[in-house]
A and B are shown apart, each in its own frame.
Chain A
Amino acid sequence: MTTYLVRRFAFILLTIIAASLVIFVATRMMPGDVARVMLGQFATDQAVENLREELGLNRPAHVQYLDWLIHFLTGDWGVSLVNRLEVRGMVLQRLGNSLKLAALSLGIYVPLGILLGVVAALNREGPVDQAISGLSMALVGLPEFVTGLVLIAFVAISWRLLPANSSIDPDTPLREAFKYLILPAITVSLTSLGYIARMTRASTINVLRADYVRAAELKGLPRRQVLLKHVLRNSLLPTVTVVAMGIGWLIGGLIVTESVYGYPGLGRLLVYGIQRRDLILVQAVSMVIVTIYSFSNLVADILYGVLNPRIRLAD
């Protein structure tokens, strides 16, 4: 197991470094001169030359990449090309905001998804199950900008319960920011809610079919005890990994949702950076997201192996 963990960990680090190459190439694939494209058509030659110098564009590509990677790993993420601020402080601040939103969303969709999934499984094939299954399948498919706008239309504009716009000061303390977080969190949750509910339903149905559940029922245990001690405990194991695996969806959802509400998180910053062609900023945000994503995948893999011994760890 330890060998496995060490190997997985080393592998994840290698993957992140390889992904950094992909990101580096992807941000530099501009047709023509990078500095010219970034500054626009009307920049003076001097300005372009200065930027070339600043970005080190006159050096060979592999030197540029290694230089960037080493600086990134040592914590020097560069200076934004748009506002001349240290990228690192800005990215970490926005990351904090995104994590708050992510945490609130997880707090909503994980328990609710499990509840819906278990209820659906217990009423298998009945009208309740059909309603929950249909709803969760529909929710999985709805883009965040659709659900977000529907929520804004009703909750914020018609009923005036919560603010429609969450473009608050990035430094707002959580206590004050909370009411701006609710609608975005619900929006992010809806997609993943369907996913969790479907997976929980499937795993609960599998457990309900198991012999030990039947044995527990036959020996006369109260239904409540069978459900809590035998069914739930086992059916929730796969759900734990499903939550970790769903982080990719969560990240995508956060990017779109933050744009819908103008919430100052990492996703909003990414869109801003891309629109302004601030490649230093885009590279930093991308690296942070990839690192988080890779480690959540690692956690998913490990949990899957630990919780389900039937799955071989080495594949």
Chain B
Amino acid sequence: MEPKEGRTHSKRGSSSPIVERPASRATAVWSRLRNVPRTAGRNLPRLAGRRQPAAVMGFGIMLFFVVMAVVGPLVAPYGYAAQAISNRLHAPSGQHWFGTDQYGRDIFSRVLVGSRHVLVVAGSGALIAVLMGLTLGLVSGYFGGLLDEVIMRLMDVLLSIPPLLLAMVILGTVGPSRANVILVVGFLYIPMVARVVRSVVLDLKTREFVEAARLRGERSHYIMFREILPSVLPPLAVEASMRFSYAIFLVASLGFLGLGVQPPTPDWGLMVGEARTWFAQAPWVLLFPAGAVALLVVGVGFASDGLRRMLLPGGASQL
């Protein structure tokens, strides 16, 4: 939402007597947000007013991992790939807080560096999906017709293959590099985002303010980006946060199966998968990366749920 004054792109629009232009962009966006019935559920005041300890905790956990991702690699006591075979499978101690793994690598350092890795991979993947899905959903919903039909049927085809399966097959074929994992995650989640965006656009298209813009003679791209997009943002933000949490889950699962990024990348899922053999002997090798994945995914899930309650109170029931 940009606060700058509403400067119209179309000359006809500014002098149009049909609708009065709102005073500022910010108030226009705000009033639009409030006019979307899907966000104006009857329980709006109650939910918005309620404190959400789980969401606060979720955002706290996310913040914690973001800080770790930023400073982690700088403060990590050892290199994430530094091996010391004589030091292998040491229990947690003052020297190695989380112990060492089967190659004598410091698990604490690997978990720290791994947080940057997972946030970058899952974050970029989710970002690609959101940008592509937003574009396709907007175009599809706004223009409708044959274009809509083609885009949505393509999305249906992608949705007919379980994401983990398609990710495994593609990565098994093209080879599991970091860039490939990001691209595959981004590609897989496009249909989910596109569907959400499209359904909101279809709903908005019939609203008075869009109708008014059309009557003013605004161009399609103006209506799409300046009139419709702002109202798409709240559901899009919720969807983006959900995609992010699923992406972390997916990246970790792929790593665990050995089909994600390859060693010696400190991918948490990969660390767990590699260390399985030493489970009974040295549980800490698995415990810390597994705990980190669990904490992060659950944290993002809580935050995402909080975001949904905050932005889409009426839709709180749809998981």
Contact = CB atoms under 8 A, between A and B. Distances in A.
Contact of A274 (B156, B169, B253, B317): B169
A304 to B, nearest CB: 13
14 contacts: A26-B166, A28-B173, A29-B170, A30-B173, A133-B54, A137-B298, A143-B253, A146-B272, A153-B279, A195-B319, A202-B316, A251-B164, A255-B165, A279-B173
Given A27-B169, A199-B319, A259-B257, A152 B293 contact: no
A275 interface: yes
B283 A153 contact: yes
Interface string B156-172: 11101111111011101
B174 A134 contact: no
Interface in A16-68: 16, 18-19, 22-23, 26-31
B228 to A, nearest CB: 20
Interface string B62-100: 000000000000000000000000000000000000000
Interface stretch (B101-109, B126-134, B136-144, B299-307): B299-307
B165 A144 contact: no
A202 B317 contact: yes
A205 B46 CA distance: 15
Contact of A26 (B153, B170, B280, B317): B170
Interface residues of A, number: 54
A56 B89 CA distance: 49
The B contact surface, by secondary structure, is helix
Given A251-B164, A252-B163, A274-B168, A142 B294 contact: yes
B133 to A, nearest CB: 18
B272 A149 contact: yes
Contacts of A289: 161-162, 165
Interface of B: 54, 153, 156-158, 160-166, 168-170, 172-175, 245, 249, 252-253, 256-259, 269, 272-273, 276, 279-280, 283, 286, 290-291, 293-294, 297-298, 300-302, 305, 316-319
Given A26-B170, A29-B173, A248-B162, A202 B318 contact: yes
Contacts of B302: 137
Contacts of B276: 149
Most buried by B among A144, A205, A274: A274
B294 A294 contact: no
B166 A22 contact: yes
B249 A137 contact: no
A23 B245 CA distance: 26
Given A19-B160, A203-B317, A137 B290 contact: no
Contacts of A271: 168, 257-259
B2 to A, nearest CB: 34
Contacts of A270: 165, 168
Contacts of B164: 251-252, 255-256
B293 to A, nearest CB: 6
Contacts of B165: 251-252, 255, 270, 286, 289-290
B253 A144 contact: yes
Nearest to A12: B160
Contacts of A149: 272, 276, 279, 286, 290
A263 interface: no
A93 interface: no
Given A142-B298, A248-B163, 20 more contacts: A29-B174, A133-B54, A137-B302, A138-B301, A141-B297, A141-B298, A141-B300, A142-B297, A143-B253, A144-B253, A145-B256, A145-B290, A202-B316, A251-B164, A251-B165, A252-B163, A252-B253, A256-B253, A275-B172, A294-B160
